[in-house]
Amino acid sequence: MNNLLRNVLIRRSIYTFDPRPLRDDELMEILEEGKLLSDAASNHIWHFTVIQNRGIIHKIAEGTRQQFSRELEMLVKSEEQREDQRFLQQIPVLLVISGCTDKKYSADAANTVFGGMMLAAEKYSIGSCWLSAIPGFLCSEQGEDIQNLISIPEGYEPLCAGAFGYRESERITEITSMDNIVNIVK
């Protein structure tokens, strides 16, 4: 099995990160691959904002938690599990992909680019996680100040966000059987 296919099969979202920062060369390689992917998506109008500042990450995590606390209470029943949702405050790198919203399917394309970047991160044993609530928060009234703080360009809107960091524990390398998950209707 080739390495790319193996990475696709074993990649999992990571919710606990080692606190050490990513190496600059590894982060730059992931960003370079993301820029190449964005050209392939025929939507080269992206802006990548890489946030490593703990204070700003904390503000985004707290704002997201406050905005979506009602939804979280419905989805996650136990208080202990809701507390675990604060993992956002521990992430080493938060990436926000912004784009011009006048393009059709911009958010879908941004998510596709981020998905490719997640696979690129696997090459360096860097974990990742999609953070779907963050763009909504950043586009809200409460998030406007943070958008200005992180310098989202004028005319751009946060479309996708995700975390990168070294795993706190070893990644799972076993590929499990996926029998009975396909139904073909002719």
C-alpha 104, offset from chain centre? 21
Model pTM score: 0.80
Percent of the chain with pLDDT strictly greater than 70:
72
Whether 11 and 122 have beta carbons less than 8 Å apart is answered as yes
Q: What does DSSP assign to residue 131?
A: -
Order across the sheet with 47-51: list the strands: 47-51, 93-99, 157-166, 126-130
Residue 29: the pLDDT is: 94
> What confidence tier does 80 reach under pLDDT thresholds 50, 70, 90?
low
Architecture of domain 23-166: 3-Layer(aba) Sandwich (3.40)
d(CA 116, CA 34): 7
